[in-house]
């Protein structure tokens, strides 16, 4: 009798286990089927978006197979609602080479002048007629063909790649380089997005190489970088209100020493890249000219706001220390130019520390562009043989 009860008990227990196992299996099967369905759906949507983005993409592809892709024959209409130091409804056009300025003709008998740099050269949000290179071109006159080959985010790594690929076809007579600010970021934070695409030596480089083959990945990564830039307060499409930009956190003296040590150690490599730019220019009989990068912060009182630009807390340090960080690169440019017979226009010294000339810490307002063109006109002289000389 007892044995029969035990048999019945275990028989019932086994049935419960079997039912539980069957239910669990069915649940896992349903979840797995649902997961496969979601993956299938995402795959279909992803393929559809990829095909669509091949025909229309809101994000330009600037790098392909490690090479610069220039934005040829483009026209951008920019409302500039967040700026009051730049013209509203600005028009930004690129010619058939992908540069700002009139159509570039390598065979032109005119003196051909090319400006190379990052966003402070390109001046993306400035109207065509208000970019400092355009203002200077008008001052030079009709005997000079001037183009702006600035590309947002490019450091000297990008400049080297650009010239390596295009300089022999462009045949410029003079190449001006406004460089340094993006090399600061390279030394402090590692390679920027462009440099990662060129090297591909880290995880981001691997991700970015995948982007080259997928417009969808390129779009998603661009949104992510934009989000990160806004989170870190590094977006260049917003005008600054200085009162809102004071850093709440300041680095310790030890942290600042480490930052400055990094930049000091980076100068030999930076000088090497500048020498590469010199060699690339001279290989096609073009004359290189260096321009140091100005900065709002550093010293003195801002005439527009009355704020002390030396003690102003910005990016975890004082304005004076921020300027000192950039000046490692400006000083290396001055020395490299002097040692290699390259003219240097010390714009960092000539452009006043005045917020009326900037939309943020480094990008120029329309008034700043006028001032820069005036400085270039006053400091550069071309003789009757169209040879460049720097006025003291």
Q: Distance between CA 185 and CA 64 in Å, rounded? A: 23
pLDDT value at residue 186: 79
Between 188 and 378, the more confident residue is 378
pLDDT tens digit sequence for 94-119: 999 999 999 999 999 999 999 999 99
In this predicted structure, the answer to whether residue 36 has a pLDDT above a threshold of 50 is yes
Share of the chain above pLDDT 90, in %: 64
- Which range of 10-24, 196-210, 238-252 scores highest in mean pLDDT? It is 238-252
Contact 111, 147 (CB under 8 A): no
State the sign of the Cα–Cα–Cα–Cα dihedral 369, 295, 289, 338. positive
Strand 174-178 relative to strand 287-291, pairing: parallel
What does the pLDDT read at residue 212? 55
Name which of 28-42, 50-64, 163-177, 246-260 the model is least confident about.
50-64
Under the banding of pLDDT at 50, 70 and 90, the label for residue 234 is very low
Torsion on CA atoms 159, 162, 168, 173, rounded to nearest 10: -40
What's the per-residue H, E or C state across 229-281? Answer: HHHCCCCCCCCCCHHHCCCCCCCCHHHHHHHHHHHHHCHHHHHHHHHHHHHHH
CATH 3.50.30.30 fits 68-390, yes or no: no
Only one residue has tokens 């010239």, namely: 163
pLDDT at 232: 44
Question: 26 pLDDT exceeds 90?
Answer: no
pLDDT tens track for 324-368 = 999 999 999 999 999 999 999 999 999 999 999 999 999 999 999
pLDDT bracket for residue 220 (50, 70, 90): low
CA nearest neighbour of 325 among 178, 197, 187:
187
Give residue 53's pLDDT.
57
Instruction: Average the pLDDT over 294-303 and give the result.
Output: 96
The more confidently predicted of residues 216 and 274 is 274
**Most confidently modeled range among 42-46, 82-86, 202-206:** 82-86
Q: Distance between CA 360 and CA 124 in Å, rounded?
A: 14
Residues 33-43: what's their mean pLDDT? 80
The pLDDT assigned to 227 comes to 44
The dihedral region occupied by 141, where left means phi > 0, alpha psi between -120 and 50, and beta the remainder, is: left
Give residue-wise pLDDT tens across range 175-192.
999 999 999 987 776 555
| pLDDT on residue 231 | 43
pLDDT band at 230, cuts 50/70/90? very low
Domain spans, the chain: 1-56, 68-390
At 57, the pLDDT band (50, 70, 90 cuts) reads low
Average pLDDT along the chain? 85
So what's the pLDDT on residue 1?
52
**Per-residue DSSP letters for 182-238?**
HHHHHHHH---HHHHHHH--SHHHHHHHHHTT-HHHHHHHHHHHHHHHHHTT--SSS
**Mean pLDDT calculated for residue range 52-73:** 66
**Burial (CB count <10 Å: 0-12, 13-18, 19+), residue 246:** exposed
């Amino acid at each position: 009798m007892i044995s029969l009860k035990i048999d019945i008990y275990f028989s019932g227990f086994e049935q419960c286990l079997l039912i539980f196992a069957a239910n669990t299996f069915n649940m896992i099967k349903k979840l797995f089927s649902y997961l496969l369905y979601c993956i299938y759906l995402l795959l279909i949507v992803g393929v559809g978006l990829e095909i669509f983005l091949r025909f229309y993409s809101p994000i330009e592809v600037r790098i392909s197979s490690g090479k610069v892709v220039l934005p040829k024959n483009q026209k951008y209409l920019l409302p500039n609602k967040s700026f009051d130091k730049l013209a509203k409804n600005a028009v930004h056009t690129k010619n058939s080479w992908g540069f700002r300025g009139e159509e570039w003709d390598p065979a032109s008998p005119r003196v051909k002048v090319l400006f190379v740099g990052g966003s402070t050269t390109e001046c993306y949000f400035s109207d065509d007629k208000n970019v400092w290179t355009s203002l200077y071109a008008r001052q030079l006159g009709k005997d000079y063909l001037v183009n702006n080959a600035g590309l947002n985010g490019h450091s000297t790594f990008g400049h080297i790649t650009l010239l390596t690929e295009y300089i022999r076809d462009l045949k410029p007579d003079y190449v001006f380089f406004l460089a340094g600010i993006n090399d600061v970021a390279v030394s402090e934070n590692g390679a920027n997005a462009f440099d990662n695409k060129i090297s591909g030596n880290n995880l981001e480089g691997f991700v970015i190489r995948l982007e080259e083959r997928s417009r969808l990945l390129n779009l998603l990564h661009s949104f992510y970088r934009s989000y990160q830039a806004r989170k870190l307060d590094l977006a260049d499409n917003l005008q600054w209100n200085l009162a809102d930009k004071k850093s709440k956190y300041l680095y310790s003296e030890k942290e600042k020493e480490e930052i400055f040590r990094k930049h000091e150690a980076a100068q030999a490599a930076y000088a090497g890249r500048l020498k590469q730019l010199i060699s690339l220019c001279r290989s096609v009989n073009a004359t290189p000219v260096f321009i140091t990068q100005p900065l709002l912060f550093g010293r003195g009182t801002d005439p527009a706001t009355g704020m002390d630009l030396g003690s102003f807390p910005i990016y975890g340090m004082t304005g004076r220390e921020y300027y000192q960080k950039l000046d490692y690169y400006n000083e290396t440019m001055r020395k490299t130019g002097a040692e290699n017979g390259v003219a240097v226009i010390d714009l960092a010294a000539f452009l006043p520390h005045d917020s009326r000339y900037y939309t943020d810490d480094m990008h120029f307002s329309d008034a700043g562009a006028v001032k820069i063109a005036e400085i270039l006109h006053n400091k550069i002289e071309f003789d009757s043989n169209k040879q460049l000389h720097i006025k003291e």
